[in-house]
Chains A and B, each alone.
Chain A
Amino acid sequence: MPAAMIEVEAVVKRFGSTTALAGVDVAAEQGKVLALLGPNGAGKTTLVRILTTLLRPDGGSARVGGYDVVADAARLRSMIGLAGQYAAVDELLTGRENLELFGLWYHLDKREYRLRAQDVLERFDLTGAADRQVKTYSGGMRRRLDIGASLIARPAVLFLDEPTTGLDPRTRNDVWRFIEELVATGTTVLLTTQYMEEAERLAHQIVVIDVGHVIATGTAAQLKAQLGGATLEVRVADPADLDRARVLLAELGSSEPRIDRDEQLLSIPTPGGTALLLAAGRRFEEERIALDDLGIRRPSLDDVFLALTGAATTGAADSIPAPPDEAATIR
């Protein structure tokens, strides 16, 4: 049985009268990625800060690699790496100087930290800028250096607090690839994110957290299954065709279609994949019903997220990126 590297039991954290974490349980096995997903202010960062010994919990218990975050804090620190949303590397130092100092502070000997700094620079594609001050780096280079610095001691558990927030899509992809490679070698990763796409791509387990509570746990597929399966969506070009289209869809499908008259949109569950889509396409053509759109829509993790966090997230909705285009659409 794989070892549990992160164990969080009923952790409570209060700041004055606000409860940031109201009894949270989380677990991650060795070599897996656990994503904490939630809107701003959900408590994600607070949990990361507790697990990296920066904050003491007010209740419950938490262990990383078997070490208690309070009682064994000193030993715990030598087996973790932390990289944050704000790249906490020194701007006036060069990339290499930053990495070597982190190596020293992880108590590696000089020969070892020099070698490893060089390794990290190569792996993170920073050799060309190694001896330049970090203030000349781009945002993406800083973030890579920041993550690199957290890896210098080859930590068994890596904490990444919104590692790709504010990065361009290409750099985001690079960071994702690094994380995947790292996990392939056995590192356990806990990452917080607001991006569904990130959680879906990287995480073996997703914990959705909102106002200090865990509101759902599962794989991306499990979470999506909670919202039901795929639906066939039809948008008619002429509103006058709506009722004909409804009758036609009802004949093909197994239930009554849903109609959104304002959007001229009809939808019906399609458990059988694309068979219904193809049949519908043929029938609409035979009946000469002009369509604007016809496609299968699967619930995205965004839908899950919005459904789960509901009204509480409306304030943070602007920070949620557009869902990836998951519809298999024939136009």
Chain B
Amino acid sequence: MTDATAPHPSAPPARMTPRTAARDTAGVAKRNLIRIVRTPRLLVIGALQPALLLVLFRYVLGGAIRVPGGSYVDYVVPAIFIEAVLIGGMTTSIGLAEDLKSGIIDRFRSLPMARSAVLAGRTLADLSRSLLSLAIMVALGLLVGFHFHAGAGSIIAGMALVMVFGYAFSWLYAAIGLATKDPETAQIAGILPFFILMFASNAIVPVATMPSWLQGFARNQPLSITVAAVRALLEGGPAASYVWQSLAWSAGIFIVFFTIALRLYRDANS
């Protein structure tokens, strides 16, 4: 018997510091990044979905949609960017539901790691998936005739805003995954907020074409605000007001769903 597994009689219980919590989170992120890299098919299919929507809106529906001032491709592509990171976020809910089902979340909960580490590590790792997806959409967008009209700084700010919004939303998806506890249900449940926010918005058609009872929601909901902000940043128009509103939405969504998801994690399977 080596001492490899002999118990520590006097192991001092480590105190949880922000540093330890960050290290735990980095460990979880590493685990999930390895998983992402080793399932390239999932990565490709994940990027294919927004690509399909882009082609669909650009070539199938785009011809029938009139937008005030400017071309439809410049109108819809920024919305596709946001949609790409939201679809990336859906993998967060499916992944967490899978972990819950496989029993590995129970195992994690029995470890002395920070309570937030499993969720934060997961959402951060999935951010890399969204980033890749976004990069592919930019390339594809340019290919189908999209043009950036603003300066580099403004474009980078626009992309950053897309990522911030996507990250905030990944906490909504984390909560969905933990609440549904089942990958199939998580997938279906995750599509609901996506559909509502995507279609009842300014993302695909101008809000002015909608019935008046819908316009209030469609104009002011977080995705519409963010689409407006990103369009303005990429077009080079006045963006500050929309940008601040979008950031406020992202912060609010993050705080609310971080709290809910953490609570669901703490009480998972009990």
Contact residues of A with B, CB < 8 Å? 49, 52-56, 74-75, 77-80, 82, 84, 86, 88-90, 92-93, 97, 101-102, 104-107, 116, 119-120, 122-123, 133, 151, 153-156, 181-182, 184-187
Contacts and interface: CB of A to CB of B under 8 A. Distances in A.
A93 B20 CA distance: 23
Contacts of A123: 2, 4-5
Given A78-B11, A90-B35, A105-B113, A185 B102 contact: no
B109 interface: yes
B36 to A, nearest CB: 9
Interface string B203-231: 00000000000000000000000000000
Contact of A119 (B4, B39, B106, B113): B4
Interface string B3-45: 1111111010110100010011001001100110011000000
A185 B111 contact: no
In the complex, the 7 A-B pairs of residues with the closest C-beta atoms, listed nearest first = A119-B4, A75-B13, A78-B112, A88-B107, A185-B6, A77-B112, A105-B113
B7 A186 contact: yes
Nearest to A82: B110
Contact of B9 (A52, A55, A74, A156): A156
B4 A120 contact: yes
A185 B106 contact: no
Contacts of A97: 31, 34
Interface of B: 1-9, 11, 13-14, 16, 20, 23-24, 27, 30-31, 34-35, 38-39, 102-104, 106-113, 117, 269-270
Nearest to A152: B5
9 contacts: A53-B110, A86-B103, A105-B27, A105-B112, A119-B2, A151-B5, A154-B7, A155-B7, A156-B7
Given A54-B269, A185-B5, A101 B102 contact: no
Contacts of A56: 270
B7 A105 contact: no
A320 B1 CA distance: 33
Given A79-B8, A151-B4, A187-B6, 14 more contacts: A52-B110, A54-B269, A89-B104, A90-B104, A101-B27, A101-B30, A101-B31, A105-B111, A107-B14, A116-B4, A153-B8, A185-B1, A185-B5, A187-B5
A267 B54 CA distance: 83
A74 B112 contact: yes
B23 A104 contact: yes
Nearest to B31: A101
A154 B14 contact: no
Identify which of B1, B7, B103 gathers the most chain A CB atoms within 10 Å of its CB: B7
B19 to A, nearest CB: 10
A31 B39 CA distance: 43
Contacts of B39: 92
Contacts of B2: 119, 122-123
Contacts of B104: 88-90
A20 to B, nearest CB: 12
A168 to B, nearest CB: 22
A88 B106 CA distance: 8
A181 B5 CA distance: 9
A77 B108 CA distance: 10
A90 B31 contact: yes
Nearest to A115: B4
